[in-house]
Amino acid sequence: MIEDKNPKRTPLSELGEFKLIEHLTEHFKITQKSTIKGIGDDAAVLDYGKKQVVVSTDLLVEGIHFDLSYVPLKHLGYKSVMVNLSDIYAMNATATQVTVSIAVSNRFPLEALEELYAGITTAAEIYNVDVVGGDTTSSTSGLIISVTAIGEVESDKAVLRSGAQPNDLLVVSGDLGGAYMGLQVLEREKEVFKVNPQSQPDLSMYTYIIERQLKPEARKDIIELLKQLEVKPTSMIDISDGLSSEIIHLCKQSKVGADVYENKIPLDPQVISTCEEFEIDSTTIALNGGEDYELLMTISQEDYPKIKGNPNLTVIGYIAEESRGMHLVTRAEEKIPIIAKGWNALNNQA
């Protein structure tokens, strides 16, 4: 099959704003009972009855949060939904709707935005959320994506960052550091490509960590698992900026301290081997890497038998009195104060 080297490029000016919105959103289906009115009016209409509403918004800016030289637009659309759904699940809530707004420069044809929205559509279908609105406008500085996620939670089931108590166990889902190391591999290959545009990198040995960076999954399954196990965390937060930053957020909101054990932090073998290749300390990456979108939570010790041995959850430490401070207990049993060195969108560049 001969590859089309000149794919169709439809200027957005041919459609105008309203026809563009209509074109990009025609595949969104309404599946939630709480969605009374979605796209097509001045505002969406949602009905939650006796449940509480949870809302979260995130911005993704080209050159800060993503680099289109190695991030496929379909993956970007998917990820833009995931980073918002993760915040909803961190409240122990069910995500039900999202709104998607974009600012786009004239270097993007219609076909590029179709790819972006294909990823958004896939995420909405897999996670059973309705896309109920948004906005489009022009940009002079590349692509900007803003997603607002909306969810619902029973009035006594919401989990905040402020509920941790001394002697609670500190628990994390999944494994950490993969997204950051995937980014390091992609950045390295970008530099190689600049020198030799004909090079075709073999990334097969990095499949897991690259997927963690380009196509993360929000942990809806963990919220469902906790419900099945009849475990309600005392506090919870998603790991978007790095484990160290999230521990500090949680402890400050709950007015507690924490001890985290280095030898308990879950690491995938691919993360360990790639850290060795890059000569980077894997614990440092797990603490400060960010973008893993796992859930960090505290649970009562009474609930430990319910989660013991579950492969999806790892106890990495415990909550202490605030006066004890926040520490990493190293493999050598030294205590090192935990400092926030994770992602800071106002200081970092992608």
167-196 tens-digit pLDDT:
999 999 999 999 999 999 999 999 988 888
Do residues 32 and 129 make contact, with C-beta atoms less than 8 angstroms apart? Answer: yes
Q: What residues does CATH 3.90.650.10 cover in the chain?
A: 169-337
What mean pLDDT value characterizes the chain? 91
Distance CA 246, CA 252 (A): 10
From its phi and psi, is residue 159 left (phi > 0), alpha (psi between -120 and 50) or beta?
Answer: beta
Residues 6 or more apart in contact with residue 56 via CB below 8 angstroms? 84, 87, 88, 148, 149
Q: 12-153: CATH homologous superfamily?
A: PurM-like, N-terminal domain (3.30.1330.10)
Distance CA 222, CA 229 (A): 10
pLDDT-based confidence at 253, cuts 50/70/90? very high
Q: What residues does CATH 3.30.1330.10 cover in the chain?
A: 12-153
The alpha carbons of the chain give a radius of gyration, in whole angstroms, of 21
> H or E stretch including 337?
strand 335-337
What is the pTM (predicted TM-score) of this model?
0.88
For residue 315, which of 337, 339, 299, 335 has the smallest C-alpha distance? Answer: 299
Distance CA 168, CA 136 (A): 45
* Topology given in CATH for the domain delimited by 169-337: Phosphoribosyl-aminoimidazole Synthetase; Chain A, domain 2 (3.90.650)
Residue % of the chain over a pLDDT of 90:
73
pLDDT-based confidence at 198, cuts 50/70/90? confident
Is the pLDDT at 341 greater than 80? The verdict is no
pLDDT-based confidence at 350, cuts 50/70/90? very low
pLDDT value at position 43? 59
Do residues 268 and 253 make contact, with C-beta atoms less than 8 angstroms apart? Answer: no
From its phi and psi, is residue 230 left (phi > 0), alpha (psi between -120 and 50) or beta?
Answer: left
Distance CA 211, CA 97 (A): 25
